[in-house]
Structure 1
Amino acid sequence: MLINRESHIIFTSLVVLAVGFLTGIYYRRVDHILRTGWMIACILLLYRVSGRYERPDGVAGALLSPFFNRGTLAVTSIFLAVHASLVNVPFTDIDLFNVAFRDVDMISHFLGGLVMWLIVTEVLMNLRPDLGRWELLGYSFVVLLAVGIGWEFVEWIGSRFTEGILQETLLNKVRDVLMEQLGALSGLLMVSSRGYPFTPPGR
């Protein structure tokens, strides 16, 4: 039986995460074992649910719509695999994300912005089918901006209680939010030009 594109991407991402999981065990990095473990479990659960069950109707179905879209799950799995590999490079104990090359977090913020925008837009599109194209896009970018700023604020609060890892300059935080918006723009280009992983309203 041929494996479709989404399943192939998801399977490849799971392999990358599994390598990360084994790397965490080898180097006794409990944080990475837990990180990759929940990522693998989450992807497998969503893959199973999206393939076995129909999306419920009503508000619940609208809120859960991204989790029943294999395309959205495929993009999400890429983000998780890349992010985990940056936090702990497979087959090594190198942490690019927090230690060796912290500017690499731009990649995670870009992909994270892409994934979050896809999820927010798909939920809004199903929750409010009456929204026109530009209203939908406007709301989705505003929500993403609010989430991004909120996350940076949480990190700032966390930096009061940690040393090093969460401590960033204001310029770095602004850059993170901008990278998320760029990721969202790439998502807009993807759904507008290719209709993937969903097609926004045309009006």
Structure 2
Amino acid sequence: MARYVDIHPQDPQPRLVAQVTEMLRDDALVVYPTDSSYAFGCSLNSHTGADRIRRIRHLDAKHHFTLVCADFAQLGQFVRLDNSAFRAIKSSTPGAYTFILPATKEVPRRFAHEKKKTVGVRIPDNPVALALVRALGAPLLSSTLLLPDSETQPTDGWQIKEELDHVVDVVVDGGDCGTEPTTVVDWSSGAPEVVRVGLGDPSRFE
């Protein structure tokens, strides 16, 4: 049975944030709010989290997970950036963008794309998500809360708990954060390619 944690969407309570991050360190799989939609998240050190997300979402091994980072300095530890990517990505974060970039050796091999050796990274513009990754001191391995055979994404914390009560460990309710996914920009070839148009304005990368 999942634990339900109701956190203030603009001023997250440090005590509750600490409780959630302690559970993340103990291999918990959580659902948490971002600036585009709710998402699944687990620690990079989790031995079970990625496989649990794949089972829940019916994903194959080729799925690109996203590293949700606290700031640009943390993001830079996990991906390689040339000067043009550095400037463009820094100017658009935090925000509703996911960037696919070559992974550094800091990314566990099982989380990088098998052939391309790339990984998705983002810095969300959401106080709860940022509080969690700052308190954790490391990125969250994350994937959008899209459920198979479902036409709509749940946005209510209690509804999420009811639907996922026996497959996740924690539901962090940070209020309604919408259902539109991030805009995805693939920068792995050295130039930006918008591969999914979402909430973030794609024109700055076209």
Q: Which interval holds the TM-score relative to the shorter structure? A: under 0.3
Normalising by structure 2, we get a TM-score of 0.26
Q: TM-score, normalised by structure 1?
A: 0.26
- Which structure has the larger Rg over C-alpha atoms? 1
Using CA pairs below 8 Å that are at least 6 residues apart, which structure has the higher relative contact order?
Answer: 2
Which structure: greater strand fraction?
2
Indicate the structure with greater helix content.
1
